[in-house]
Structure 1
């Protein structure tokens, strides 16, 4: 066998193994990757009008959350920059500010889900209440493999 044929077999073997890996990844994707939007629409059986209302709520929620994330990052940056200085008198105030921003974030999330409940028809409210019981598992980030912890 010539060197060229050997290299061609190696290249073809690598291409096949990469394609198989790609197919495996796409097939093995868990339903958790559907995303909360699609999951809520599916579980609550939203009609087209409700989906439009829900998409508006999502846009509003994302804007509010983005604003709070920027505030939180700014406060944390200021807090950790105190490590450079000997004067750390503002530390407690910054920690309180970080806590306040976290509390506001939770209130925004709570209000978002109240608004989702409001667009539910009476026959969908029970499904929403069941969904609330599953929030921790549905919206928690996927656990990292042991080697990434």
Structure 2
């Protein structure tokens, strides 16, 4: 076999493997979810009426959460501004207020999922329970810390 034949054989092999890889990637797309909304609708098999109710719940939930986020930002700004003047006053009070807002946020989230469960039909409750069991992995925002792997 000459050098040219060898190089042509290698080039054709590389092109074929790249083509197969591209076909594999494009044919095997993972399901695309545009956030938790679509995932919940899909996993709970909501009908159109349930989707409308769920969308109303989302609007309410986002409004409540946004309010708590603004409140939290204000409190944290006040808290960390205490570092500028080494003031001890209000420090514990601000930490308690931050904790209270965090607790209220979790209660809002919990109620939101209770409301979602209420719009489920009896035959969807098992799917809802399965979804709850997967919360950590479904709604995680990034990789787990090393101690949780």
**Which residue number corresponds to residue 106 of structure 1?**
106
Q: Is 1:60–2:57 an aligned residue pair? A: no
Contact 2:64/2:108 (8 A) holds in 1: yes
The runs of 5 or more residues in structure 1 that have no matched partner are: 1-22, 145-149
Deviation for aligned residue 1:89: 1.3
**Aligned residue for 1:69?**
69
Q: Is the 8 A contact 1:72 1:101 kept in 2?
A: yes
Contact 2:44 2:128 in 1 (8 A): yes
Report deviation, 1:32.
7.1
**TM alignment of 1:1-149, pairs within 5 A:** 31=31, 34-143=34-143
Aligned-residue CA RMSD (Å) = 2.2
Q: What is the deviation of 1:60? A: 0.2
Larger Rg: 2
Distance 1:30 1:70, change over 3 A: farther
Distance 2:143 2:52 in 1: 32
Alpha-carbon distance between aligned partners in 1 of 2:55 and 2:123, rounded to the nearest angstrom:
21
Q: CA deviation at 1:142?
A: 2.6
CA distance in 2, matches of 1:61, 1:54: 10
Q: Deviations over 1:24-68 (max 9, x none)?
A: xx9698657531000000000000000000000000000000000
Instruction: Give the whole-Å Cα distance in 2 for the aligned partners of 1:75 and 1:32.
Output: 37
CA distance in 1, matches of 2:80, 2:29: 38
CA distance in 2 between partners of 1:68 and 1:82 (Å): 22
